[in-house]
Structure 1
């Protein structure tokens, strides 16, 4: 399996708008920011131990928009910057303490939807559904690089929802 950096790198080639990719009708593009500093990451997550993959993500890219619908904002995934991820994680834990574990990290938001991308303490990637309990959340990958690779291969489609 590739590293986080290697898995994120192909998205950098999606900066130009592309029409009608895959089964969606939207004009899509990706934007991958430069990496955050070690201080920015540690300041935002000072109260939590970070998994190496998550730290590697933010050191590679502070924030990213993957397969974003550039016209309407109704498609794609926003990978949150360290401070926004910490705030969203805190808010989700407070709102749904029975579903979110103290070691979970909310790292992304699906554009146009209310689902969030969660990295669990084992490095597994879950999609937190807004009305469902944790037991009903799909585990969409075993690692963050695996998720990034599979999401790229699916051209931004929610591959876990396919029949």
Structure 2
């Protein structure tokens, strides 16, 4: 089992993650992304390995989703949506985003997004951050060394925003 499979296993073991004051929080995964789509969307500028491995298993998903009110959870995007949302983030917030940053998902109930550094030449290539449009890049939280690391930490925190703990 590789790192992404291992990181996804807690989510796949039970479709209902837990009960919360909002109601049940559930996990949903989609069919794997076709490699031809990933290549078509990203060309020679492929995302970090952990993202590619994730898309080989699922084109996206919804983790710890509050299906009652829609106010909690993380939506992980398919390749096409990652490309679109990344381009939008760079266009709307060029002072904070780099053209190579990849917006992997969004958190329900607020404006925070999950992104990964996508430029291979950078020393932080593959690192995962949570970004808020209200904060500057220097204030964004490093939440994982790669996508598998983030997914493990998020599962260990049972879907809580562990980076917000004081």
Structure-1-length-normalised TM-score: 0.91
* Aligned 8 A contact 2:87 2:99 in 1: no
Q: What's the counterpart of residue 143 of structure 1?
A: 146
Secondary structure class of the residue paired with 2:99: coil
Q: Which runs of 5+ in 2 are unaligned?
A: 119-124
The corresponding residue for 1:112 is 109
Moved over 4 A (4+): none
Unmatched 5+ stretches in structure 1: none
Contact 1:67 1:156 (C-alpha < 8 Å) held by counterparts: yes
Q: Say which SS state the counterpart of residue 72 (structure 1) adopts.
A: coil
- Asked if structure 2 preserves the Cα contact closer than 8 Å seen for 1:11 and 1:32, the reply is no
Q: Which residue of 1 is the match for residue 6 of structure 2?
A: 6
8 Å contact 1:80–1:107 — kept in the other structure? yes
CA distances 1:114-157 after superposition (whole Å, capped 9, x unpaired): 01000113111101111111111011111211100000011111
| Number of aligned residues | 159
Determine the C-alpha separation between the residues in 2 that align with 1:17 and 1:85: 25
Q: 1:32 aligns with which of 29, 32, 39?
A: 29
1:154 has 2:151 as partner: no
TM-score, structure 2 as length reference: 0.89
In the TM superposition, what whole-angstrom CA distance separates every residue of 1:13-61 from its partner, at most 9, and x where no partner exists?
23136423xxx54310101222111011112222633211111111111
Matched-pair contact (CA < 8 Å) for 1:73–1:111 = yes
1:133 to 132, 136, 140: 136
Where do 1:52-71 residues align within 5 Å? 52-71=49-68
RMSD after superposition: 1.5
- Equivalent residue for 2:40, pick from 33, 39, 43: 43
Corresponding residue SS for 1:90: helix
Aligned pair in 2 of structure 1 residues 153, 95: CA closer, same or farther (>3 Å)? same
